[in-house]
Structure 1
Amino acid sequence: MARHAPNRLAGTIAATAMCVVAATEAFAQDRSIVLNQQLQLGDVIAGETLNVEDATGEVGVNVAAQGNTASGTVQNGAIDLSSQQTMRGNTRATTSLTLTGDTEGPVNAETQARGNYLAAGAYGANLTVDASQTVAPSEVTASSVITGSSARLIGGASVGVTAIANTTSLGASGSRVEGVIVQNSSAGVRASNFAGTQYIPETAEFISQSAGNTVSVNSGLASSQNLAIRQRQAGDQVTASTSANSGNAWDLAGRARATGNQAILYNQGGSAVVLTDQSNLSQIQTASRVTSYDFGAATANAYGTGNEVSIGNNDVYLEIDNSQVNSGGVEVSSTFEGTNGYDVRVASQAVGNSVTGYACSQCNGYMDVTNAQTNSGAVSATASTTIRGTGRSVATSANAIGNSATFYVSRPGS
């Protein structure tokens, strides 16, 4: 790692916790060192209940429950970040909306439940990470409900629900990111999103997503990566359920996504060398249900996977050493029911293990890939469409795959 003059700002990082925080930050001659330890023993619960009639403007809701969270950045220097986060209680976030009469403005609601969360950014710097996240046997749940059936959402809606046991998110620009990330979850993870409405004459989207462990790394400009990621999900279930319903909807979408382990990485401007090791024991269940008596456009989309890796490098060299084992079943379903309308899109995809790697052909990109995937869980995908009256077009698909591996070299933008 390069040395820098002592008068350069090496960086700062801040850590916050619901229970115990032990963080140290010291300016050394050539780098900063941060030691973060967080332990949450009890439950963390956040909830919001709204009862609104004939709202003339936007209805906005943001509910978040997090066991441990740490975040920070480094600029024009170097930093060693050592972080250990442990969540032993339950995490729950709930939103309940009763909307009567005409809601003239848009409905924007976000509900999140996370056990452990770590975020770090590097700008013209060197970031070395040694991170460990653990969620003991517990529940991580997030839910949103629009109650009743008389809601008239004149301004449309965007409602999202997220439940994740462990999250690590790294961003960089003109930097080198390296180190080890270990995530272990024994939690049941569940996200549900329900909407009962009468009339929506604008775009309305309802999304639920859940995951045991997630890692995302996005580094751009003259950056490089050298990372080892190990993820274990062993709770009973990881589920995502969306039910979006309306008497008359012009453009209605319900989406659901559930993943045991996920690692999404992108780099630009240097080499990317990544080792990923994933194991999922949990049952993955995803369901998206959309109903509308009269409809313009309607979409029901569901995706579920035991283990997922996507690594891309918009530069010369990409090295991937990937190992995935899934023994949990993956069950995915998408459903639409309506009477009279126009266009319907229904899609369902279930995958035991999935890996994608890509490099830049315009840069004379080169990939070195080692891949091992084992799936022993049942994988099923179903799609159902019922139109009792008239409709213009229907597009539906259902795909179930045990192991999927895709590697390619393409030019930017392709």
Structure 2
Amino acid sequence: MAKPARIRLAGTIAATVMCAAAATEVAAQTPPPADSIVLNEQLQLGDVFSHQTLNVVDAQEQVTVSTSAQGNSASGAVENGSITVQSDQDMRGDSVATTDMTLGGDTYGIVNATTQAQGNYLAVSAYDADLTVDANQSNTGALVSATSQLGEDDARLLGGAVINASAISNTVAVYGEGSTVGGSIDQSSSATVRAYNRIETQYIPAEANVSSQAIVNAVQVTSGQTSGQNLAIVQTSTGDFVEAESSANSGNAWDLAARARASANQAVLYNQGGSVVVESSQDNTAFVRAAATTTAYDYGRAEAHARGVANELSVGNNDIYVEIDNSQFNSGGVDVTATFSGTNGYDVYVGADAVGNSVTGYACSECEGYLEARNSQTNSGDVSATANTTVAGSTRAVITGANAVGNSATFYVSRPSH
């Protein structure tokens, strides 16, 4: 006999859960409904702010900082049953997270700092179950912003650093294991989305990674063994702009990297052990900007990489069948810049990638995979990629690249290891 569905739900604003339960002797004699159901409706009208200031001198061990601002959030899971999740999330205020760090003298442990700002967030998981998702997310607030800054001219980060800033207007994350996942996801946003990350230091004798990510609408669906997906996705971005910027600066750095990624609409689906059928429509009018800057007088390895994409769809299946019906329209500009400046060192890597519309689909060749794709892409916005590299003294290797593409479509059948 199958176990009853188990539901877990958490929401920052409001969450309504409806499920059958045998609460009395009479109710116990009544068979429960075949499907569990979650009805979630969330409305955020005001602004959400989170700010943190850190001022530390000569920290002997690690420094860990986390700052987050969230409008609407809900999560749920089902095991050994079936569930229908109907979710309607409406964000009408700003979501702003800010982290200011001053680390003077020697910091011996690693510095971990994460700054996140989100409008609407929905996460649903299924284990040996059937999951149906009907999700609607709307963000009409003015701003979703995550800002992180670490600044002190004499800062010595002896243990290295991992500094992240992430701003996402709408997010839907779905996971299935031994399950079928189906339904529809509709996301729309008119908010400005911005992620900014910067560090100023004197000395970093370890790895230091400074990264920023800004996404207007994001969908991620991942399924494990013997799972399948059948989804319809609609994403609309109409804000003024979406921007990600990272700046990593040090007098002497052993392994220093600045990475920035900006996307208007992004949908990533991966599956194992079943079929994947997806109908996707992405429309963007916002300006997309990504910028990464790395500077160091002396350096071992230095990297600056930026990527900007207006509309992006990736569908992969480590099994037999993939069917894609894709439609992408972009009229917003895409501007990407990666910059490095240094004097003496070893290896320099600089890359800038700008894309108007991008779709990738693949299936497993060893499974005698079959892929069927219908693709329509229209880009009327300017797409620009620029890489700037300056070495004033001497260096061992310099590897740079700048790539700009209006419409990109890649479909292939390959082995799982490839």
Smaller-chain TM-score range? over 0.9
Contact 2:18 2:36 in 1 (8 A): no
Aligned to 2:146: 142
CA contact (8 A) 1:25 1:35 kept: no
Aligned counterparts of 1:20 and 1:9: Cα–Cα separation in 2: 25
Query: Match for 1:166 among 145, 149, 170?
Result: 170
- CA distance in structure 2 between the partners assigned to 1:379 and 1:200 by the alignment: 35
TM-score of the aligned structures, taking structure 1 as reference length: 0.97
Q: In structure 2, how many angstroms separate the alpha carbons of the residues matched to 1:194 and 1:270?
A: 43
> TM-score if structure 2 supplies the norm length?
0.96
1:78 partner letter: S
Q: Quick check: 1:224–1:269 contact (8 Å CA) kept in 2?
A: yes
Do residues 120 (structure 1) and 124 (structure 2) align?
yes
CA offsets per residue over residues 358-392 of structure 1, 9 Å max, x none? 00000000011000000000000000000000100
Alpha-carbon contact 1:13-1:34 (below 8 Å) kept: no
Q: Determine which of 10, 19, 42 is the counterpart of 1:15.
A: 10
Q: CA deviation at 1:8?
A: 1.9
Structure 2 counterparts to residues 14-413 of structure 1, below 5 A: 14-17=9-12, 19-26=13-20, 28-413=32-417
- By how many angstroms is 1:16 displaced? 1.0
Going from structure 1 to structure 2, the CA distance change for 1:25 and 1:86 (only over 3 Å counts) comes to: farther
Q: Report deviation, 1:150.
A: 1.4
CA distance in 1, matches of 2:235, 2:142: 17
Q: Please state how far the C-alpha of 1:101 moved relative to its aligned partner.
A: 0.3
Alpha-carbon RMSD across the aligned residues, in angstroms, is 0.9
Q: Which amino acid aligns with 1:24?
A: M
Quote the Cα distance in structure 2 between the aligned partners of 1:25 and 1:300. 51
**2:130/2:179 contact within 8 Å kept:** yes
> CA deviation digits over 1:320-340, x for unaligned, max 9?
000000000000000000001
In structure 1, the residue corresponding to 2:381 is in which secondary structure? coil
Letter of the 1:308 counterpart: E
Q: Following the alignment from structure 2 to structure 1, what is the Cα–Cα distance between the partners of residues 361 and 299?
A: 39
> Does the Cα contact within 8 Å between 2:345 and 2:396 map onto a contact in 1?
yes
Contact 2:145 2:195 in 1 (8 A): yes
Do the aligned partners of 1:210 and 1:239 also contact (CA within 8 Å) in 2? yes
Q: Which moves more between the two structures, 187-196 or 19-28?
A: 19-28
C-alpha distance in structure 2 between counterparts of 1:123 and 1:21, whole Å: 22
Q: Deviations over 1:113-141 (max 9, x none)?
A: 00000001000000000000000041000
CA distance in structure 2 between the partners assigned to 1:26 and 1:233 by the alignment: 39
Instruction: State the Cα deviation string for residues 191-224 of structure 1 (Å, max 9, x = none).
Output: 0001000000000000000000000000010000
**Contact residue 359 and residue 408 of structure 2 kept, 8 A:** yes
Q: Which runs of 5+ in 1 are unaligned?
A: none
Are residues 38 and 209 of structure 1, via their aligned partners in 2, closer, same or farther at CA, if it must alter by over 3 Å? same
Separation in 1 of the partners of 2:58 and 2:155? Answer: 10
For 2:33 and 2:291, the matched residues in 1 are separated by: 54
Does the CA-based 8 Å contact 2:9-2:15 persist in structure 1? no
Mapped to 1, the partners of 2:368 and 2:98 lie a distance apart of 50
Contact 2:16–2:38 under 8 Å retained in 1: no
Alpha-carbon shift at residue 9 of structure 1 (Å) = 1.8
- Give yes or no for contact 1:15–1:23 (8 Å, CA) kept in 2: no
2: distance between equivalents of 1:21 and 1:41?
16
For 1:404 and 1:60, how far apart are their aligned partners in 2?
A: 40
Q: How far 1:149 moved relative to its partner?
A: 1.6
* Alignment partners' CA distance in 1, 2:75 and 2:231: 19
Partners of 1:331 and 1:346 lie apart in 2 by: 16
Q: Which runs of 4+ in 1 moved over 6 A?
A: none
User: Contact 2:53/2:101 (CA < 8 Å) preserved in 1?
Assistant: yes
CA change 1:382–1:315 in 2 (3 A) is same
Task: For residue 392 of structure 2, give the secondary structure of its aligned residue in structure 1.
Answer: strand
Paired amino acid for 2:6: G
Counterpart Cα distance in 2 of 1:314 and 1:279: 28
Equivalenced residue count is 408
> Which amino acid in structure 1 is aligned with residue 8 of structure 2?
I
Task: Give the superposition deviation at 1:25.
Answer: 3.6
- Give the deviation of 1:148 after TM superposition: 2.3
Cα-to-partner distance string for 1:240-264 (whole Å, 9 max, x where unaligned) = 0001000000000000000000000
Q: Distance in 2 between matches of 1:346 and 1:194?
A: 18
* Structure 2 letter corresponding to 1:265: L
